[in-house]
Amino acid sequence: MSVDPTPWKPDTSNRPEMRVIFEMFRVLPRQGPGSDEHTLRAWSLLKNLPSRPEILNVGCGTGGDALAIARNHDVRTTCIDIDQPSLDVLAQRAAEEGIPERITPINQTLTDLSRFADRSFDVIWAEGSIFIYGFTKALLNWKRLLRPGGYFVISDVVWTVDNPPREAVDFWNVGYPDLQSVEERISLIQDAGYELIDHFSLPERCWWDVCYTPLENNLPTLREKYRDDTDALLEIEEAQAEIDLFRKYSDSYGYEFFVMHDRLAI
């Protein structure tokens, strides 16, 4: 399969209004749907890892997923994100938990991983971040980073019904037109040369508890803070719209974990 060098959409990380998005999300327990329980469930599916596996955590945010693993396992995790304050929070949390040697935060865009040599990692971990680059592109372009037998773990939003409501399709078409069903994702995984080990869905509470509820609670404060900033207000209302959409259509889409390893590298 040939690798398309162009991301599925331009990297928007330098848009000035991204500062408000980062501000909204970095104060949350996690920056996307998830839970320690589900992170560790995915981790438990990885077999025959070396004694101190090297992990690349892509789009780590403040490290909810990375820390869940690192506080329970002797790992070396390179955590990349482009939001420096999130990386600072992660470093501080790792220090407070007494596991700084297990976490290395690096300010690095996930759209260019050329600084990392081939076969550098035993595991690539991407909870809630693959949409930034594109599902297929990540499967194909990041495979070179895995050591033989290495694992790739992704959590991503998927359609959970055959005919999702038009309002939900229209909403996601703007931010994530790449959204597909679990079956379509599995097919891409296999086409890209991986063996799917398992996949499982996140319950609705994983969206609310660590993400949407604290985010929604904070929106009035942000509306007040940015009342004279049109761009910022647009992003704030976009966040509200995303929450409202989930409240209405959570039976049509959800988050799915995919745990796979590189078939050809074994």
Ligand X SMILES: C[S@@+](CC[C@H](N)C(=O)[O-])C[C@H]1O[C@@H](n2cnc3c(N)ncnc32)[C@H](O)[C@@H]1O
Is residue 17 a contact point for ligand X (CB under 6 A)? no
For residue 127, the surrounding DSSP H or E stretch is: strand 121-127
Closer to ligand X by CB, 83 or 256: give it.
83
CB of 134 to ligand X, least distance (A): 12
Closer to ligand X by CB, 50 or 177: give it.
177
Q: How far apart are CA 127 and CA 66, in angstroms?
A: 9
Which residues are paired to 260 by β-bridges?
A: 152, 196
Is residue 134 a contact point for ligand X (CB under 6 A)? no
Site for ligand X (CB under 6 A): which residue of 46, 55, 75, 110?
110
Closer to ligand X by CB, 60 or 168: give it.
60
Q: How far apart are CA 154 and CA 125, in angstroms?
A: 6
Q: How far apart are CA 110 and CA 101, in angstroms?
A: 22
Q: Which among 108-116, 139-147, 197-205, 216-224 is the span making contact with ligand X, rule CB under 6 A?
A: 108-116
Q: Using CA atoms in the order 233, 237, 239, 244, what is the torsion angle rounded to 10 degrees?
A: 170
Is residue 127 a contact point for ligand X (CB under 6 A)? yes
- Are residues 133 and 154 in contact, defined by beta-carbon separation less than 8 angstroms? no
Q: Which among 43-51, 104-112, 232-240, 252-260 is the span making contact with ligand X, rule CB under 6 A?
A: 104-112
Which residues are paired to 105 by β-bridges?
A: 79
Q: Which among 55-63, 89-97, 237-245, 255-263 is the span making contact with ligand X, rule CB under 6 A?
A: 55-63
Closer to ligand X by CB, 16 or 166: give it.
16
* Cβ-based neighbours of 38, under 8 Å, separated by 6 or more: 155, 200, 202, 206, 257
Q: How far apart are CA 156 and CA 235, in angstroms?
A: 21
Site for ligand X (CB under 6 A): which residue of 23, 81, 256, 262?
81
Residues forming the site for ligand X (CB under 6 A): 11, 13, 22, 30-32, 34, 59-61, 64-65, 80-83, 86, 109-111, 127-129, 132
